[in-house]
Chain A
């Protein structure tokens, strides 16, 4: 009985969270007639016209490229800095460690709107509006607390003897970090990387604010600005949304295999 209840609950939760996704995948496969039909058509005719049109008319792939550049570089920079910062915070005997970690957390809690103005001013002064770096730098700032927190807690759980051993075996601090600590904290690194990538990939507000020219707009902004003067291209929007979700789903599936828990088993007696 308990089991049945468990399955019903799980199924309901999964269905509810997947419903919007399923709906726009469904919509993307409909013809314009079907989309606006009342009552709604449940089984689409399966046309790929919306995709074709999104790519040809609305320049979908251009936005995908921009998103990959921005999210990819953001992830790389954030993770690199997070690794170094997180390691320092987890291992060094420094004063006010709690305060540093706390302020990092506070920074990530500011509502975006409260920092939007200053960020825009700074970027304008630097002439970085409408450039990749103009979006990447704020993203790095915003995702760093997350990265540092995840990695610091992963590093803290590693047995310190391993690092001592590496140091004695002749490693410099950097060699210890990148040959021993990071491989062992791989699950943490991947988790942090995925979360940062998803954030940068999905972020809309700053992207809208900073990227006013189509040349540099990312996918969320691109999709939002699909609407033409005379009509709302629902099919194309649904198609583009599907396309924008696929990389994330793929990434999670690929990296899930690498997030092997218990990787550290066997390092020390236990």
Chain B
């Protein structure tokens, strides 16, 4: 087990800068997730931790010791790949035992370890089979088992669930969380799926354009995103962004499509040109006039089970809100929308940062 720190990490591929100045401390035993759109450099970070990719500049430390020059073997990390990367010419037993065989572990120890792991993950019956005879979910568990068997200092997971079908993916999320609680090994997880990141992590770093946009607990990132990138990336469906203008500084009043909103903030923003951000779940749509509600037109209705997502045309902007399942709304109907004004976030239109 280890704590990991990144100090001014940079990575270039040729002249292309992939990672620009990464500084982060990952605590011992933490479940830490890098999340971001594809191509943001998150797998590169994982490969640098593993020692598969050289670090252009900066230092990665495990327990305060620099590991830049160490080979993957010396770093003692284990990794689960998106493709599982099982050795096709070996049986399940061979795959699980491989890291121990390379370490020259005694045969009896290997035997008992493989048994322990296959019991833990329910692989007992599969030991003699080859990977190609197994289903996606089984392969994924073997890949996990091969990582666990070594009891490494750090687990690295590179989108391990994205090849599974939706139902299995949700099940494995819980499974991974359970394993982490049991083993308490520092886990660094990479995904482009924000829901996965939110549901499993102790802390999340949102990555984009080679930079960390924000790092914090799922709650912090969800409730107080630092900029429009984070606000728009975390949460599904994504946050609504509506152009707005500052009307009054004390108290803060914002004009948004002719609607005056009073956000809960004491510090008036410096820039008058703003973007107002509000999550779909904080906009209520109904068919009859409500207090403080204002008029709009229904565009598209999507059922989400317990409620409906409603796309609404409000003046020139398209926004998404929720309607009670009992509301009888049809496309092109007139409707009334209401903002939870305390959930409104304001962003500077030039810097795209949230105004405090």
Contact = CB atoms under 8 A, between A and B. Distances in A.
A269 interface: yes
Contacts of A166: 87, 98
A167 interface: yes
Interface in B115-142: 130-134, 136, 139
B346 to A, nearest CB: 44
B99 interface: yes
Contact of A167 (B73, B88, B134): B73
Nearest to B79: A168
A170 interface: yes
B72 interface: yes
B73 A267 contact: no
A161 B85 contact: yes
Interface stretch (A31-39, A218-226, A258-266): A258-266
B83 A268 contact: yes
B136 A168 contact: no
A159 interface: yes
A172 interface: yes
Contacts of B354: none
B131 A266 contact: yes
A201 to B, nearest CB: 29
Nearest to B76: A170
Interface string A123-153: 0000000000000000000000000000000
A144 B139 CA distance: 38
Q: Chain B interface: which size bin?
A: 20 to 34
Interface string B91-108: 000000011001100000
B240 to A, nearest CB: 36
A165 interface: yes
A101 B133 CA distance: 37
Contacts of B163: 269
B88 A265 contact: yes
Contacts of A266: 86, 88, 130-134, 139
Contacts of B131: 266-267
A104 interface: no
Contacts of B51: 167-168
Contact of A183 (B78, B89, B133): B89
Contact of B88 (A169, A175, A267): A267
B130 to A, nearest CB: 6
A171 interface: yes
B43 to A, nearest CB: 11
Contacts of A165: 79, 81, 85, 87
Contacts of A269: 83-84, 136, 139, 163
B83 A264 contact: no
Contact of A168 (B78, B103, B130, B134): B78
B132 A161 contact: no
A162 interface: yes
B230 interface: no
Nearest to A262: B132
6 contacts: A161-B82, A165-B87, A169-B146, A172-B71, A265-B88, A267-B85
- Which 5 pairs of residues, A with B, have the shortest CB-CB distance? A266-B132, A268-B83, A267-B88, A165-B85, A161-B85
Given A161-B81, A168-B51, A265-B132, 20 more contacts: A161-B82, A161-B83, A162-B85, A164-B47, A164-B85, A165-B81, A166-B87, A167-B71, A168-B50, A170-B103, A183-B89, A184-B88, A264-B88, A266-B131, A267-B84, A267-B87, A267-B131, A268-B84, A269-B84, A269-B139
